[in-house]
Structure 1
Amino acid sequence: MPQMAPLLWLYLYFFFLLMFIIFISLNYFFKPFEKINSKISYSQPTPQSTWKL
């Protein structure tokens, strides 16, 4: 029935929003932790030049 088409798109929109929110929240909470390398010496200049103001 053509009358049900707007409801179908509304349900698809809510389904997409729900899946998107779940996907973003899972990526936020389960992202891998970055390991800090303690062997790097911060006193040496970096290979990339720094901006000077």
Structure 2
Amino acid sequence: MPQMAPLLWLYLYFFFLISFVIFISMNYFIKPFETTDSSSVSKASLQQLNWKL
């Protein structure tokens, strides 16, 4: 929008950059959850399938 003040675009740009840097750094430093063992998952799903009412 050309009618907006140029300083507003600058503030929005810096806000985006700071937000993006914080987001990337959080994703880098926070480790994902540990994955479960695939054999235990398959056993649990088989037990659920074998149940009868």
* Residue 29 of structure 2 is aligned to residue 30 of structure 1: yes
Q: Give CA deviations for 1:6-49 in whole Å, capped at 9, x if unaligned.
A: 111000000000000000000000115657xxxxxxxxxxxxxx
Question: Aligned Cα RMSD in Å?
Answer: 3.3
Q: Which runs of 5+ in 2 are unaligned?
A: 35-53
Q: 2: distance between equivalents of 1:27 and 1:14? A: 20
Deviating above 4 A after TM superposition, structure 1's stretches of 4 or more consecutive aligned residues are 32-35
Q: Does 1:6 align with 2:2?
A: no
CA distance in 2, matches of 1:33, 1:17: 25
Q: Which amino acid in structure 2 is aligned with residue 7 of structure 1? A: P
Aligned residue pairs, count: 45
Structure-2 separation of matches of 1:32 and 1:18: 23
Q: Which has the higher helix share?
A: 2
